Structure 1
């Protein structure tokens, strides 16, 4: 199964299967609600409840594609979320890098499941799911 591994696929499937069909949300939508809404707001407009406690303004992430010549900047958004690059508005220390938290969570969960070697792949899948969800918020 390559780099993703069976354990990572099972982990992702179990994340999505935990919600009832009526209340189902994508993994990316779950990650956004859990990690991003507090600052970026439910629609990604930069109006989350924690914004008043921050210095500067929060970026409107619904404009990423428009501000990049109509092409959604997948790698830049991935690297911002993962913490592997400091770029643009997400280059400040106020933007937490979720990649480290995702890797720690994955390592703990997969160790419990008996598949500790797949933590990086599972963390990357979570970041990719979040990137995909942020892409769905883009205004034309």
Structure 2
């Protein structure tokens, strides 16, 4: 009986623990979903008040020949776009820039030290592709 309890107890406890959400989805919900919508389709509650419709983030790969454009996405969320989109409404994510730096390859073969939380948002966006 005791042996059975020892084997069953960890399983019972595991069922009581809620699976944590990936950090990227939490940051997306906090910083991005108001404009881009919970599913990233560009239909957030704040989208109606914007002069330019937010991008449908679920179609990034489809618009890029089936490949997720990680470097371009990172440039957009990090705010480095070479001045090509000075009219953009994207906010700055200063809080997210304070996270640890990790090597990130956006698909161009170059590993760049990048704030972890931005990498997590990019990975979340990759998971939303249809």
- TM-score (normalised: structure 1): 0.65
| Distance change >3 Å, CA 80–CA 91, structure 1 → 2 | farther
| Distance change >3 Å, CA 87–CA 63, structure 1 → 2 | farther
Q: Which residue of 1 aligns with 2:101?
A: 121
Q: How big is each residue's C-alpha offset from its partner over 1:72-122, in whole Å with a ceiling of 9 and x where there is no partner?
A: 00010011001011588x763311132x3323xx3xxxxxxxxxxxx5627
Q: How big is each residue's C-alpha offset from its partner over 1:36-78, in whole Å with a ceiling of 9 and x where there is no partner?
A: 1000001111000001111121111100000000000001001
Instruction: Please say if 1:136 is aligned against 2:127.
Output: yes
Q: Which residue of 2 aligns with 1:35?
A: 31
Q: Which residue among 47, 50, 57 is the counterpart of 1:54?
A: 50
| Distance change >3 Å, CA 26–CA 91, structure 1 → 2 | farther
| Distance change >3 Å, CA 136–CA 102, structure 1 → 2 | same
Which runs of structure 1 show a deviation greater than 4 angstroms over 4 or more consecutive aligned residues? none
Aligned-pair CA distance for 1:28: 0.5
Aligned-pair CA distance for 1:21: 4.0
Determine helix, strand or coil for the equivalent of 2:101: helix
Instruction: Please say if 1:94 is aligned against 2:89.
Output: yes
Higher helix proportion (structure 1 or 2): 1
Higher strand proportion (structure 1 or 2): 2
Relative contact order: is structure 1 or structure 2 higher (C-alpha 8 Å, sep ≥ 6)? Answer: 1
Is contact 1:81–1:127 with CA below 8 Å preserved after alignment?
Answer: yes
Task: Provide structure 2 residue ranges, at least 5 long, that are not aligned to the other structure.
Answer: 1-15, 103-113
Instruction: Name which one, 1 or 2, has greater alpha-carbon Rg.
Output: 2
| Distance change >3 Å, CA 67–CA 58, structure 1 → 2 | same
